[in-house]
A = this chain, B = another copy of it.
């Protein structure tokens, strides 16, 4: 019988980093936003996710150009979409540390979550 693999700090930090990105995305996409309020939404999201376990550093930036192009003349706002988000998180778990990101991939036409660096 094959042994179960030992779970390392590296395994855990990558798992935790994934949780943060999935949480951020599905908690906050759909939020109403326009160019006057994008600053406070960015800050609200960034600080909210920063309190979760294993988050050492987080930056959240929302693409203003995409908001502009979505603004409906009649209504003057749009919804936060995953493709508008540019997020960088540094996560730590005991001895392990990683950088992960969420950014719109124009080739794939998809808001891609990616492991950027394992320290």
Residues of A within 8 A of B (CB): 2, 4-5, 7, 10-12, 14-34, 36-37, 40-41, 43-53, 72, 74-77, 79, 82, 100, 108-110, 113, 115, 117-119
Contacts and interface: CB of A to CB of B under 8 A. Distances in A.
B32 A52 contact: yes
Nearest to A76: B51
A50 B44 CA distance: 15
Contact of A108 (B2, B47, B74, B110): B74
Given A11-B10, A110-B72, A49 B20 contact: no
Contacts of A82: 79
Contact of A22 (B2, B22, B76, B118): B22
Interface centre among A18, A21, A28 (most CB of B within 10 A): A18
B44 A45 contact: yes
B49 A32 contact: yes
For A25, A110, A119, which residue has the most chain B Cβ atoms within 10 angstroms?
A25
Nearest to A52: B32
Contacts of A49: 32
Given A10-B11, A29-B30, A52-B77, 12 more contacts: A4-B118, A11-B14, A14-B18, A15-B15, A19-B21, A23-B25, A27-B31, A37-B48, A37-B50, A41-B44, A43-B43, A53-B75
